[in-house]
Chain A
Amino acid sequence: MTTKRRYSLMGATLGGFLAMLAPLPGYAAINVQCPGDTNGSATWDAGEVQPPNTKCMHLGAGDGFITMADGATQYIFGFSDLTGLVTKPVPPDTGDDVMMEGMLGASFPAPPIMLDEGDEFYLTLTNVGMMMRPDLFDPHSVHYHGFPEAAPIFDGVPDASISINMGSSLTYYYKINDPGTYMYHCHVEATEHMQMGMLGNLYVRPVQDGTTYTYGGRDYTKFAYNDGDGSTGYDKDYPIQIGSMDSAFHNASLTVQPLPFALMEDDYPMLNGRGYPDTVNPAALPPPAGNVNGGKASQKESSLIEAAPGERVLLRISNLNVTRFYTLATLGVDMTVVGMNAKLLRGPDGKDLYYKTNSVTLGGGESVDAIIEIPVDAAAGTKYFLYTTNLNYLSNNTEPFGGMMTEIRVN
């Protein structure tokens, strides 16, 4: 907790930061674009009409804090979910609701984005600024990683198009044609912003959902892909995002030191933004200690996998760490890999390339869809494990019995 001293500055910084923002822009404005939504909440409130197949979301990009599984507090950049906050019209103080919610509101992983094939998705990104780093004026972006047939304007790569400045909003549009497990992240200063935590789960459910297929003697109405035969049917699905962070880098960022890009060595391996045993906490973690981020819960994604005997569990595994490959294994139960990189694992003429395994190896920017079948004779209370076989990553920094591991519990 060597950095705790700095956190007490937060209150003063918050006020100063808002004061600084206020005179900035005649041109900067929060602008949520969502068809049918008139008050800029990215939702359809009373009197507003949601057009068919339309989804909206309002994300904030800024900074915040999380708690590592060994109790350490860590500074992050990240996204916050501002959906539902009214932004129009903008009386002098209404915009501040968004800023108050967004500033130091970063969560890790980022708020999950769950879409359905056929959706038209309007994603507004508001850059709320990095409160702990008033010296930074970084723009931000959203890269919808893996989006097929992408156009640069909505691809989020700042070099190839545009990114949004502090105090303003950019709305991305995606026509969702292809189901599968994707991921999203900020692509501005990617090495830095991604190491700092601007990473999240994103997946698309297929139009086959809602129809019924019988597979292996069981009926399914939810599927990983449009398989045509129910072979990707599942009862439960869990996004599992592999990640890891280098605490030295984060501390250097918080204390405005030079950032060691090439020297990065991650020491906190995680699943969905937590190290074991926080991974199996089904609830949001409590806000970071010491009121460093205004008491906002910043780690809402559990990795606890629960299923009943005979059920099929779809693991939507992605990896967005920026330093290395990880191998993720099951112990006690097999996986069947049915999808890879948001595509059904079949050849062009339909040849089935599914395969059974006990582990998958993913680098950053890769995803795999794997199905676990809980044995029908498994007793309630049985535990299986999902963990990295890079066994030195079973720790939270130096704390043993932690790191990249979660439990699969039979209920």
Chain B
Amino acid sequence: MTNISKSLRVPVILLAAFFSVASPVSAIDLAAVEAEWTPPDSATPIPMWGFIADPGSCPAGPVAWDVGPLQVGSPGATLTINLRNCLSEPVSLVIPGQNATLTPVVQGNRVTAFTHEAPAGGTASYTWNNIKAGTFLYQSGSNPAKQVHMGLYGALTVGTYYQATDEALLLYSEIDPALHATAAAATPLTYKPKYFLINGDAFAAGQAVPVVSANAQVNKNLLLRFVNAGLMAHVPVMQGPYMKIIAEDGNPYPYAREQYSVLLAAGKTLDAIWRPEQSGTHALYDRSLSLSSNGAPGGGMLVYLNVQPFPWILFMPAITGAGR
């Protein structure tokens, strides 16, 4: 099951065509819900909170947890997200890197939410004008020390890079079961994650290595979109090849950085171009060694990227097309 591509499993909500010109206004509907996640080494599910495509009313019970549905936007568009809150406390939604006027919630002398909230059982709406291209994390802006590690996060991609023929999303996160049992806020000393996930999968020893599906081809550029929804830094490493890191938080670098490893700090997004030279599986793993699953080595943040052989059949028409 884990080797089924995650990007095929998550519901993809297409906000707008990449080069849409007509009415670049998109509204999508999300719900924050109670959920459950079953770790690879136990039948006992862990209580989670998650974002799902809004079913129109609150689910009767916990749903199977996954990372929030991937959102795809187009540069310059107006993005509206309508949020239904099915949780027992207020929830909000922010997208670091997509700048919008924040309307923080203040209690006493403290901001308790970075922007306005959907009250328990209620709804709220968020709008971003003129969204910029790149890769982004959307997450709860309410009591983030608690709600983000409870699972309220997902990815937003806006536009793509002309250099790339296809792309793969790699969303990193962590789960500390001890904090989920009580839904307590993570504090410096309490947060000790045991499960390390990419795209919602926690690979464990003895299982097949998860495969992230993309139309990766030899000698074609693949865009790797790294997103870290975890509270800790990770260091993705490609085993053998180099990547060209081209942007962070939706901001292109003045010069690409050619590295086989890259620091993916907490909350950070990175865009990297990888041009495979060989077909087959290519391992991408966390060199900060979150390569364990509930303490057992041999699992954790590791995926294979599959590269298809040189696409002779597809390549020929492409030549024809280019010469037309």
Q: Do the two chains touch directly in the complex (Cβ atoms below 8 Å apart)?
A: yes
Name A residues whose Cβ lies closer than 8 Å to a Cβ of B.
Answer: 244, 265-269, 276-277, 280, 325, 327, 329, 331-334, 351-359, 361, 375, 378-379, 382-385, 388-395, 397-398, 400-403, 407
Residues of A within 8 A of B148 (CB): 391
Residues of B within 8 A of A378 (CB): 101
Residues of A within 8 A of B248 (CB): 355, 357-358
Contact B114 A390 (CB under 8 A): no
Q: A331-B94, A383-B102, A407-B111 are known contacts. Are A391 and B251 too (CB-CB below 8 A)?
A: no
Most buried by B among A276, A331, A334, A403: A331
Q: Give the docked Cα–Cα distance between A357 and B266 (Å).
A: 13
Contact B101 A382 (CB under 8 A): yes
Contact B96 A395 (CB under 8 A): no
Contact A391 B254 (CB under 8 A): no
Contact A265 B189 (CB under 8 A): yes
Q: A334-B251, A379-B101 are known contacts. Are A390 and B111 too (CB-CB below 8 A)?
A: no
Between-chain CB contacts (< 8 Å), 16 pairs: A267-B188, A268-B188, A327-B268, A331-B94, A332-B114, A333-B99, A334-B99, A334-B249, A353-B254, A357-B249, A358-B97, A359-B267, A383-B102, A384-B102, A393-B188, A400-B185
Residues of A within 8 A of B268 (CB): 327, 359, 361, 389
CB distance from A231 to the nearest CB of B (A): 12
- Within 8 Å by CB of B251, from A268, A355, A403, lies A355
Indicate with 1 or 0, residue by residue over B264-285, a CB within 8 angstroms of chain A CB atoms. 0111100000000000000000
Contact B189 A267 (CB under 8 A): yes
User: Is the C-beta of B100 less than 8 angstroms from some C-beta in chain A?
Assistant: yes
Q: Give the docked Cα–Cα distance between A127 and B266 (Å).
A: 40
- Within 8 Å by CB of A332, from B100, B191, B254, B255, lies B100
Q: A329-B96, A359-B268 are known contacts. Are A400 and B188 too (CB-CB below 8 A)?
A: no
Contact B267 A357 (CB under 8 A): no
User: Is the C-beta of B84 less than 8 angstroms from some C-beta in chain A?
Assistant: no
Contact A265 B188 (CB under 8 A): yes
Instruction: Specify the chain B residue showing the minimal Cβ separation from A382.
Output: B101
Instruction: Specify the chain B residue showing the minimal Cβ separation from A325.
Output: B233
Residues of A within 8 A of B111 (CB): 277, 383, 385, 401, 407
Instruction: Specify the chain B residue showing the minimal Cβ separation from A396.
Output: B187
Q: Give the docked Cα–Cα distance between A159 and B206 (Å).
A: 51
Can you name 13 extra interface pairs (CB under 8 A) apart from A355-B254, A383-B102?
A265-B188, A267-B189, A277-B109, A325-B233, A355-B248, A358-B248, A358-B249, A359-B96, A389-B231, A391-B145, A391-B231, A397-B188, A401-B143
Contact B254 A354 (CB under 8 A): yes
CB distance from B277 to the nearest CB of A (A): 28
Instruction: Specify the chain A residue showing the minimal Cβ separation from B248.
Output: A357
Most buried by B among A327, A358, A393, A394: A358
Residues of A within 8 A of B101 (CB): 332, 378-379, 382
Q: A327-B233, A385-B111 are known contacts. Are A392 and B265 too (CB-CB below 8 A)?
A: no
Contact B110 A395 (CB under 8 A): no
CB contacts under 8 Å to A, within B92-122, are: 94, 96-97, 99-102, 104, 107, 109-112, 114
Residues of A within 8 A of B302 (CB): none
Indicate with 1 or 0, residue by residue over B198-225, a CB within 8 angstroms of chain A CB atoms. 0000000000000000000000000000
Q: A391-B144, A394-B144 are known contacts. Are A269 and B188 too (CB-CB below 8 A)?
A: yes
Q: Give the docked Cα–Cα distance between A355 and B245 (Å).
A: 13
CB distance from A160 to the nearest CB of B (A): 31
Residues of A within 8 A of B99 (CB): 332-334, 375
Residues of B within 8 A of A355 (CB): 248, 251, 253-254
